[in-house]
Every structure is written in C-alpha cells, then in structure tokens.
Amino acid sequence: MLAQSATPANIAEREAVIDIAAADSCLEIQALSLAYAGTPALKELTLRVPRRRVTAFIGPSGCGKSTLLRALNRLHDLNETVSRRGEIRLEGQEIHAPEVAVAELRRRVGMVFQTPNPFPMSIYENVAFGLRLQGDMRKRQRDEVVEWALRSAALWDEVKARLGDSAWSLSGGQQQRLVIARTLAVKPEVLLLDEPASALDPISTLKIEELIRSLKSQLTLVLVTHNMQQAARVSDYTAFLHDGELVEYAPTDALFTNPRLARTENYITGRMA
C-alpha cells in the first residue's frame, strides 16, 4: 500500500480532486490550514462545495473532517489554541472578514451535532429559539415558521399534539430531527451535519437520511460521516480526507465505484484502519 501511494503521488492527487465551477459552488475553501496548539489538523486544504447538493466528508478518525466542518461556521473561534491560515468563502464572501458578524454567519450556516442537543425547554421553544434571538416576531408568524420547520424535518406529525412538552422527553431520533428543525427555522443557506446519525438506531438513521435527501432542494448540505454506506446512500459528492489532507474528491458514484487512488480504494474497501 505504501509502495503504491509513493508513486508520483502529488500529481495524481491533484487530478483526484474534481473541479466544481465557481458559479455552482456555495462554499469555497482555499488553502485552509488549521492547527490545535501547534499540532496541524488541516493542511493546505482546497475544495469547493456545490450549491444545493449533499457533499460528504469521509475518512478515518482524526483525519480532520469534523475540524473542517466546524471551521465552516467558525466554531473554532471559541478555542484560543486554534490557529488558522487560508480562506473560506461563503457565496464569494470571506467568512473571516471583519465585516462579517459571526452570529449572522452561524445563522446562514447551521450546524447539527453528533449527539442530539435539544435545549432545556419545550419542543416549541427549541424551534423558536433562533427566531427569538433574531428579535421580535408576531406570534402567529412565529407559529407558522415553527410548523414549517417541524414539517421540513418530518417531525410535525409526531409532535404537533405535544409542542409544550419538554424536548428531552423525545426519543433520540426525534431529538435529532428536532435539532434539524431548530436549525432550519432560521432559514440557513448551508446545513452542516457532523455524524448526525451515529448515535441513533437504524430506523431513526433511515429517517434522518431521507430528510437529508429531501432538504437538498432547499439548501446546501455538508455531511461528515464515518459510515461509508451512508455517504454512498445520501451524498452527491464525496471528499476523502486523510491526515488533514484532501486525498480524493469526486462525485459519489465515481468515488465509490471507481476510486482514482489506491489510498481511497483501501479505505472504502475497509483495508485501512
């Protein structure tokens, strides 16, 4: 395996990264490097995420896929030990530019985490949380947005009779869909999903995957997963990361059926730890 990847690797890897036209891309990552307290986590990463498609980041644990995802809505800002070089552009706008308000960026780029994290309040208030942050809104209008978000997250029918109940009374899968609804309620342009189904049972996972597929007509989705079947099932494009580097980035069908690089093939066929 090492012998194979040692062949004119650099040239081959460049070719392994497809180029998406700038006009079709929603997010553009340019030479992004990131380090935790001096330890590099991402190395000179460059890729474009296509608009209204599902893009999956796959790779072994510690490859930097979650780090990359969190960089996309500046969650690393909270951690003082993180240093960054390079650019991330959302619809052409550099997200680290001083005129970009981080709260507004995070509204435009929503994020769903691995563990369902509903807030300690009612189901309704969870969905309305982001709306209330944005300021006053008439109750009827807010009700409508909450219903729309819950319907979009395929949760409305299950919770419409108990909107006042604590969000913590829901099952794990319902909680995760509630979190998605909560994110959708503020009408984001991009939805980042960090292993959204890894803590869920197979049926809940299926529902989340259906939801992801149905949402791509409205917004751009970026999915981090260590489940390759999941990536193959729901994503349009897949990027394989290893050791903080982008190894291969291709339409999902092409990457899974006909990987260009041996490292990718080894990983997707399970020969790499």
Partner 1 sequence: MRLSRGEGPWPWLAAGSVALSLLLLAALLTLLAGRGLAHFWPAEVVQVELDDGSRFAARPGREERSAEGVERLYHTGNREWLGTPWRWVEVARIVEQQRPAELVVIERRRWGDFIGRVAGLEEDGEALVLEDDAAQWAALNARLARLEALRAARDALRQDEVMPRVRELGAARDAASRARLEGELATANAEILALQAQMARDRVLLESVDGERLALPLEDILAIQRPNDMRLPAKLGAWGTGVWRFLSEGPRAANTAGGVWPAIFGTVLLVLLMSALVAPFGVLAAIYLNEIAHQGRLTRLVRISVRNLAGVPSIVYGVFGLGVFVYGIGGSLDEWFFSDQLPSPTFGTGGLLWASLTLALLTLPVVIVATEEGLARIPDHQREGALALGATRLETLRRVVVPMALPAMLTGMILAVARAAGEVAPLMLVGVAKLAPQVPLDAEFPFLHLERKFMHLGYHIFDVGFHSGDVEAALPLVYATALLLVLVILLLNLTAILLRHHLKARHGALPR
Footprint of partner 1 (CB under 8 A): 73, 75, 78, 80, 103-104, 106-107, 110-111, 113-121, 129-130, 133-134, 166-169, 175, 179, 182-183, 186
**Smaller CB distance to partner 1: residue 53 or 106?**
106
Residues in Cβ contact with 243 at an 8 Å cutoff, skipping those fewer than 6 apart = 43, 63, 64
**Smaller CB distance to partner 1: residue 23 or 103?**
103
Distance of CA 138 to the CA centre of its chain: 31
Looking at residue 78, what DSSP letter applies? G
Least Å distance, CB 115 to partner 1, is 5
SS3 184: helix
CB–CB of 167/178 below 8 Å?
Answer: yes
Least Å distance, CB 169 to partner 1, is 6
Least Å distance, CB 107 to partner 1, is 4
* Chain length of the chain: 273
Q: Which helix (H) or strand (E) holds 247?
A: strand 245-251
Least Å distance, CB 165 to partner 1, is 10
Question: Closest Cα to residue 216, out of 18, 26, 89?
Answer: 26
- Give dist(CA 49, CA 54) in Å, integer: 9
**Smaller CB distance to partner 1: residue 181 or 246?**
181
**Smaller CB distance to partner 1: residue 2 or 103?**
103
Output the six-digit token pair for 211. 């939801």
C-alpha to C-alpha distances, 249 to 50, 102, 124, 256, nearest whole angstrom: 12, 29, 39, 11
Least Å distance, CB 98 to partner 1, is 17
Which residues are paired to 222 by β-bridges?
A: 55, 192
Least Å distance, CB 110 to partner 1, is 6
**Smaller CB distance to partner 1: residue 8 or 120?**
120
Least Å distance, CB 170 to partner 1, is 10
- Give dist(CA 19, CA 47) in Å, integer: 8
Q: Which helix (H) or strand (E) holds 141?
A: helix 139-152
**Smaller CB distance to partner 1: residue 211 or 246?**
211
**Smaller CB distance to partner 1: residue 9 or 199?**
199
